[in-house]
Protein backbone atom coordinates (compact mmCIF):
# COMPACT_ATOMS: atom_id res chain seq x y z
CA UNK A 1 0.00 0.00 0.00
CA UNK A 2 1.35 3.41 -0.89
CA UNK A 3 2.14 5.87 1.91
CA UNK A 4 -0.49 8.28 0.54
CA UNK A 5 -3.25 5.66 0.67
CA UNK A 6 -2.12 4.51 4.11
CA UNK A 7 -2.27 8.11 5.37
CA UNK A 8 -5.76 8.60 3.89
CA UNK A 9 -6.99 5.39 5.49
CA UNK A 10 -5.53 6.40 8.84
CA UNK A 11 -7.20 9.81 8.58
CA UNK A 12 -10.55 8.14 7.78
CA UNK A 13 -10.13 5.69 10.68
CA UNK A 14 -9.34 8.51 13.11
CA UNK A 15 -12.44 10.43 11.95
CA UNK A 16 -14.59 7.32 12.48
CA UNK A 17 -13.21 6.85 15.98
CA UNK A 18 -13.97 10.49 16.82
CA UNK A 19 -17.57 10.12 15.68
CA UNK A 20 -17.98 6.92 17.68
CA UNK A 21 -16.75 8.52 20.88
CA UNK A 22 -18.71 11.76 20.43
CA UNK A 23 -21.63 12.52 22.71
CA UNK A 24 -25.09 12.32 21.12
CA UNK A 25 -26.14 15.45 19.24
CA UNK A 26 -29.02 15.79 21.69
CA UNK A 27 -29.60 14.22 25.11
CA UNK A 28 -31.33 10.85 25.16
CA UNK A 29 -33.66 9.29 27.70
CA UNK A 30 -32.92 5.90 29.25
CA UNK A 31 -34.89 2.91 28.01
CA UNK A 32 -35.40 0.58 30.96
CA UNK A 33 -36.62 -2.91 31.70
CA UNK A 34 -37.45 -2.82 35.38
CA UNK A 35 -34.46 -1.19 37.05
CA UNK A 36 -32.11 -2.11 34.18
CA UNK A 37 -31.13 0.46 31.56
CA UNK A 38 -31.05 -1.39 28.24
CA UNK A 39 -30.77 1.51 25.81
CA UNK A 40 -31.65 5.13 25.19
CA UNK A 41 -34.09 7.03 23.02
CA UNK A 42 -34.35 10.54 21.65
CA UNK A 43 -36.92 12.58 23.63
CA UNK A 44 -38.97 13.32 20.49
CA UNK A 45 -39.17 9.60 19.73
CA UNK A 46 -40.19 8.83 23.30
CA UNK A 47 -42.94 11.45 23.10
CA UNK A 48 -44.34 9.57 20.10
CA UNK A 49 -43.81 6.00 21.26
CA UNK A 50 -43.54 6.02 25.04
CA UNK A 51 -47.23 5.25 25.40
CA UNK A 52 -46.53 1.91 23.72
CA UNK A 53 -43.95 0.92 26.36
CA UNK A 54 -45.69 -1.13 29.06
CA UNK A 55 -44.49 -0.89 32.63
CA UNK A 56 -45.29 -4.54 33.32
CA UNK A 57 -45.15 -7.85 31.50
CA UNK A 58 -42.70 -9.61 29.23
CA UNK A 59 -39.85 -7.36 28.05
CA UNK A 60 -39.44 -9.18 24.73
CA UNK A 61 -43.12 -8.69 23.94
CA UNK A 62 -42.88 -5.00 24.88
CA UNK A 63 -39.82 -4.55 22.65
CA UNK A 64 -41.57 -6.37 19.79
CA UNK A 65 -44.55 -4.02 20.12
CA UNK A 66 -42.27 -0.99 20.16
CA UNK A 67 -40.26 -2.37 17.22
CA UNK A 68 -43.44 -2.83 15.17
CA UNK A 69 -44.50 0.76 15.89
CA UNK A 70 -41.07 1.95 14.77
CA UNK A 71 -41.30 -0.14 11.61
CA UNK A 72 -44.82 1.05 10.80
CA UNK A 73 -43.73 4.65 11.35
CA UNK A 74 -40.72 4.26 9.05
CA UNK A 75 -38.31 4.76 11.95
CA UNK A 76 -36.69 1.33 12.07
CA UNK A 77 -33.56 0.33 10.26
CA UNK A 78 -33.49 -2.54 7.80
CA UNK A 79 -35.87 -5.19 9.11
CA UNK A 80 -34.01 -8.48 9.28
CA UNK A 81 -36.39 -10.80 11.14
CA UNK A 82 -33.45 -11.45 13.44
CA UNK A 83 -33.78 -11.37 17.19
CA UNK A 84 -30.76 -10.30 19.23
CA UNK A 85 -30.27 -10.57 22.96
CA UNK A 86 -30.81 -7.48 25.09
CA UNK A 87 -28.53 -7.56 28.11
CA UNK A 88 -28.07 -5.42 31.19
CA UNK A 89 -24.73 -3.88 32.16
CA UNK A 90 -23.74 -7.14 33.88
CA UNK A 91 -24.37 -9.17 30.74
CA UNK A 92 -27.56 -10.86 31.94
CA UNK A 93 -29.99 -11.45 29.10
CA UNK A 94 -33.27 -9.66 29.82
CA UNK A 95 -35.09 -9.84 26.49
CA UNK A 96 -34.75 -10.12 22.75
CA UNK A 97 -35.42 -7.52 20.07
CA UNK A 98 -35.44 -7.20 16.28
CA UNK A 99 -31.97 -6.19 15.10
CA UNK A 100 -33.47 -3.49 12.86
CA UNK A 101 -34.37 -1.31 15.86
CA UNK A 102 -31.30 -1.62 18.08
CA UNK A 103 -29.77 1.59 16.80
CA UNK A 104 -32.84 3.80 17.19
CA UNK A 105 -33.43 2.36 20.67
CA UNK A 106 -29.78 2.77 21.66
CA UNK A 107 -29.49 -0.92 22.50
CA UNK A 108 -26.08 -2.53 22.40
CA UNK A 109 -26.26 -5.73 20.39
CA UNK A 110 -23.47 -8.14 19.70
CA UNK A 111 -23.47 -10.36 16.63
CA UNK A 112 -25.54 -13.49 17.12
CA UNK A 113 -22.46 -15.71 16.83
CA UNK A 114 -21.28 -14.35 20.21
CA UNK A 115 -24.42 -15.70 21.89
CA UNK A 116 -24.01 -19.29 20.77
Each residue of 83-109: pLDDT tens digit? Answer: 999 988 888 889 999 999 999 999 987
Predicted pLDDT of residue 24: 67
The answer to the question of residue 98 being in a domain is yes
Give domain status of residue 12, yes or no: no
Domain count, the chain: 1
The CATH code of the domain that includes 106 is 3.30.750.160
Please say if the pLDDT value at position 114 is more than 60.
no
Residues 77 and 103: beta-carbon distance below 8 Å? yes
pLDDT of residue 33: 87
Question: Looking at the predicted structure, is the pLDDT value of residue 28 above 80?
Answer: yes
Output the pTM of the full model.
Answer: 0.71
Give the pLDDT confidence of 51-81 residue by residue, as tens digits: 777 777 899 999 998 899 899 999 999 999 9
Q: Give the CA distances from residue 109 to residues 15, 31, 100, 106, in Å, rounded to whole numbers and listed in that order.
A: 23, 14, 11, 9
16 domain-assigned = no
Q: Is the pLDDT reported for residue 115 higher than 60?
A: no
Instruction: State the residue range of the domain holding 85.
Output: 26-115
In a domain, 54, yes or no: yes
- Comparing CA positions, the residue from 43, 95, 94, 97 lying closest to residue 69 is 97
Amino acid sequence: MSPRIAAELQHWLNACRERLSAAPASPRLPLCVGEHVIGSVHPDLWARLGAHWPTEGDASEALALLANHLRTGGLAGVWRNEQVAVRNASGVELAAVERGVVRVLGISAKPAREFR
